[in-house]
Amino acid sequence: MSPRGRPRAFDRDRALRVAMELFWEHGYEGVSMSDLTGAIGISAPSLYSAFGCKEALFREAVALYNAPERAPVARAIREQPTARQMIEAMLRTCADSITDPEAPQGCLVVLGATNCTNDDVREFLAGCRNADVDAIRERLDRAVAEGDLPATADTAGMATFYMTVQNGLSIQARDGRSREELHAVIDRAMLAWDAML
C-alpha cells in the first residue's frame, strides 16, 4: 500500500539524522538550508516537502536528539533507583555524550540557540531545559516521599544546582575540556550532595 505519487528518492530518517548532527555542531542559525541540502545530498524543494520549513526540521532534530533512549535526564530517572544515583548518572551520561569523539562537543539543547534571532526557536530550547529541571525536581520530590531524601531537602534548589553544573559542562566541552576533566568536575559536584541535605 505505497502512496499514490512518485516515491521519495532519499531516506527521510537519514536526512533527519544528518540535520541533527549539523544543528548539534553549529546551532540553529549556524546551519543554512544550503548546508543541509548539501550534506543530505538533495535539493531544497525535496527538503521543504519532507519537513515543512527550517524551524520544523530543527524541532524534529531536537526531538530525535531528546529520544527517551538517549536523553540523559529521562534515562537516569528511568534506570536509577535512588535520587543520588539518578543525579550522578544524569551528569555522567551527559558528560560522555558531549565528549563523544564521534559527535559534536557540547549539548544541542544547551548550546543550539543561545543567541538565536528566532524567538520561537530560542524559547523552544529554553523550554526543553526548564522541563529537565522540572523533571529532576519531581524525581527528588518522589525521593522525599519515599524516604530516600529527608523532608527538609530543598529539591528545587538541588535540581537547579545540578542543572547549572550540567549546563556548564557543555560550555567546558566546547572549550576543549576532556571527558576525564568533565568527570572530575562531576566528582566535585557530587561532593556537595551530603552537605546540602
Partner DNA sequence: CCATTTCTGTATCGAACGCTATAAAATAGG
Partner DNA sequence: CCTATTTTATAGCGTTCGATACAGAAATGG
Please name the residue that has the C-alpha cell 527550517: 54
Helices 83-98 and 119-145 pack at an angle, to 10 degrees, of 150
Burial code of 174-188, b = ≥16 C-beta within 10 A, e = fewer?
A: eeebeeeebeebbee
When asked if residue 18 is in the footprint of DNA (CB under 7 A), the reply is: no
- Return the DSSP state at 149: S
144: buried, middle or exposed (CB in 10 Å: 19+, 13-18, 0-12)?
Answer: middle
When asked if residue 31 is in the footprint of DNA (CB under 7 A), the reply is: yes
When asked if residue 45 is in the footprint of DNA (CB under 7 A), the reply is: yes
Task: Name the residue nearer to DNA (CB basis): 6 or 188.
Answer: 6
Total of chain residues touching DNA, rule CB under 7 A: 27
With CB under 5 to 8 Å by kind, the binding choice for 152 among a copy of itself, DNA, none is: none
Contacting a copy of itself within 49-88 (CB under 8 A): none
User: 107 with 90: CB under 8 angstroms?
Assistant: no
Task: Find the part of the chain contacting DNA (CB under 7 A) among 42-50, 95-103, 146-154, 155-163.
Answer: 42-50
**Interface characters, 163-192, with DNA (x: CB under 7 A):** ------------------------------
When asked if residue 119 is in the footprint of a copy of itself (CB under 8 A), the reply is: no
